A and B are shown apart, each in its own frame.
Chain A
């Protein structure tokens, strides 16, 4: 009988990285902290090609940001000596933070994307050893008009399509941009997404989209959690429709989609822009199985009272047949569900603010 698969959960916090592992997704073993006192706003677990490479987007307030990777489950870490994510001398910019590390689809095993602050997208074709600035987005004529959300001006979401050369990026603030040619050129795709905080609430770009996720079955279908507003698009972002009805609030940062089944997505609502707490102090994970027509909230296993927010990358799913759902709070609690978000167990508590989590079933 084969040994049960190990699920690894990477937890990036405001003061370091922790790894949790489990063979049943019920009982978890938590590592000692790594990169203690560095912020870890992005993590990734790349299991393509039958091997496991962990990535951490590190940020030292003193010594700046860098990307590191580990091929031995966090035992040792390496930083690219040359390359990494670094602007060139002519770019007149300095990397401030790595918000997103996104391994590409299975069919492109060496490709890893990164979304960064200042707003920029980077591509590696050598498993994350070296990265190249995406010039199409960096040189976009809109760039001077993109703004900064409270956390900084960042490309926080990079979504390559497994079907073709389509690539979506979401930025705060700027909204959703799509490339149909693998990143060579980009166009805003925000029609239907509100920017209530601007004089024109329906601009071509400038929205504060917090997170975008792609449907598992239909790569043309997207889901977005906006700065007030929850939306879906059936046409690759050409148009967006509200799916907020049925949720207790339309504010929040998280948007997750099922890894295998179409139409299923999760959000973790917060009350409002001006009140960034779970509605009524009750932390609930809301799920739709019909593309956003209806929502059902679940708090089984979660605390009765919770006043901490869940940040945009502090939530994830794994890729198990029955996927796990994971998230962490700014209060340093991390929760895991082994049943698609119906019931949760606490993996860790009293950690620093959780900034990023990613989970994966490790190759046998």
Chain B
């Protein structure tokens, strides 16, 4: 039986404390997975990580960027952007700060 479809989520250095120091997390995904459901899965059992990425309203934090296979989801369908099996999803802090 083949393994369930999965994706790799790359974690920025400042958030690795919430995933046992790992730089990447492999997550199983459903056929119709999108970024929102992927973040739901990533945040499962990791509420502090979830809070760093999304606001309470569910919106992606303004200075957090997410790329699916190199494409900025804000230029696609936002949190509704599809995440195909085998994709690489990168979470990055944007260029900001003073």
Q: Contact partner of A94 among B53, B55, B93, CB < 8 A? A: B55
Q: Tell me which residues from 76 to 98 in chain A have a Cβ below 8 Å from any Cβ of chain B.
A: 79, 81-82, 84, 86-89, 91-95
Q: Size range of the interface on B?
A: 20 to 34
Binding-face segment, A59-67, A122-130, A153-161, A309-317: A59-67
Q: Tell me which residues from 270 to 287 in chain A have a Cβ below 8 Å from any Cβ of chain B.
A: none
Q: Contact partner of B51 among A86, A92, A93, CB < 8 A? A: A86
Interface centre among B14, B48, B58 (most CB of A within 10 A): B48
Contacts of A64 in B (CB 8 A): 51-52, 55, 61
Check B57 against A92 for contact (C-beta < 8 Å).
yes
Q: Does B56 contact A (CB under 8 A)?
A: yes
Chain B's interface: helix, strand, loop or mixed, by majority? loop
Check A37 against B97 for contact (C-beta < 8 Å).
yes
Chain A's interface: helix, strand, loop or mixed, by majority? loop
Contacts of B1 in A (CB 8 A): none
Q: Does B47 contact A (CB under 8 A)?
A: yes
Q: How far is the CA of A88 from the CA of B56 in the complex (A)?
A: 7
Check B14 against A62 for contact (C-beta < 8 Å).
yes
Q: How far is the CA of A60 from the CA of B94 in the complex (A)?
A: 12
Q: Tell me which residues from 37 to 84 in chain B have a Cβ below 8 Å from any Cβ of chain A.
A: 47-48, 51-53, 55-59, 61, 63-64
Contacts of B53 in A (CB 8 A): 63
Check B14 against A95 for contact (C-beta < 8 Å).
no
Check A79 against B55 for contact (C-beta < 8 Å).
no
Q: How far is the CA of A78 from the CA of B53 in the complex (A)?
A: 19
A residues engaging B (CB < 8 A)?
A: 14, 37, 60-64, 66, 79, 81-82, 84, 86-89, 91-95
Q: List 22 A-B contacts (CB under 8 A).
A: A14-B98, A60-B52, A61-B63, A61-B97, A62-B14, A62-B61, A62-B93, A62-B94, A62-B96, A62-B97, A63-B14, A63-B52, A63-B64, A63-B93, A66-B51, A82-B47, A84-B51, A87-B57, A89-B58, A93-B57, A94-B55, A95-B56
